[in-house]
Amino acid sequence: MAVMTESDVQKTAAPARGLGGAWAILLLVGVVIAVIGLALLRNQQGQPTDGTAPDFTLTGLDGTPFRLSEQRGRIVVLNFWASWCAPCADEAPALQALSARYAVSHPGRVQFVGVTHSDEPDDSAAFVARYGITYPNLPDTRADVSKRLYRITGVPETFLIDAEGQVVGFFYSAVDPVALAAAIDPLLAAAS
């Protein structure tokens, strides 16, 4: 019977340790590939930037129900925002000014609507009061509209919907009022 030395034991144990390390690396690579694959799949399911705007019904901060599909015949500016969002505060006065301008120049033809995302209704109401916002604002407390239907990635994000209910524009981050008006005006001219 042969006697094994300590050196012999280390030589036979080394491949087993090496194989365990290889399995760990292989497992790690598999997890990384799965995570990247899921991220790529999610990126392919981005915001709806064309096609029919996903319909929804929410109750406004004032208690009035609002259904997007009932706005057909109007151009809709659908703005997702939150009271805790600094860029949202920056764009709020411009959105209100544009809403007021179109209410006078094209009554009933352009509907601005805000949807609050991850916001407390009391905080949203205070924000609306602070900026004198007169167009409908709708709490999306469960994020069904913002995350599930419109798949926003942050706030603010704004969708422009034509009179036929088709998404025709998407503004990521705070809206430039000049760019928004430049997108709305041709839609008004085409519908005339």
Q: What is the DSSP letter of 3?
A: P
pLDDT reported for residue 49: 82
Beta-carbon count within 10 A of 173 CB: 13
pLDDT reported for residue 43: 44
Mean pLDDT value of segment 153-159: 97
| Both tokens assigned to 70 | 């009932």
pLDDT greater than 80 at residue 168: yes
List the one residue out of 185, 165, 167 whose CA is nearest residue 67: 165
Pairwise pLDDT comparison (164 vs 23), residue with the higher score: 164
Task: Please tell me the distance from the alpha carbon of residue 76 to that of residue 150, in angstroms, as a whole number.
Answer: 14
Tell me the pLDDT tens digit for each residue of 74-100.
Answer: 999 999 999 999 999 999 999 999 999
List the one residue out of 61, 91, 95, 62 whose CA is nearest residue 76: 95
pLDDT reported for residue 40: 44
Look up residue 44 and give its amino acid: Q
Tell me the pLDDT tens digit for each residue of 11-67.
Answer: 554 554 556 666 767 666 666 665 554 444 444 468 888 899 999 999 999 999 999
pLDDT reported for residue 107: 97
Provide the sign of the torsion angle of the four alpha carbons 38, 41, 43, 46, taken in this order: negative
Pairwise pLDDT comparison (107 vs 4), residue with the higher score: 107
Beta-carbon count within 10 A of 154 CB: 12
Please name every residue paired with 81 in a beta bridge, in sequence order, or none if there are none. 116
Beta-carbon count within 10 A of 168 CB: 19
Look up residue 49 and give its amino acid: T
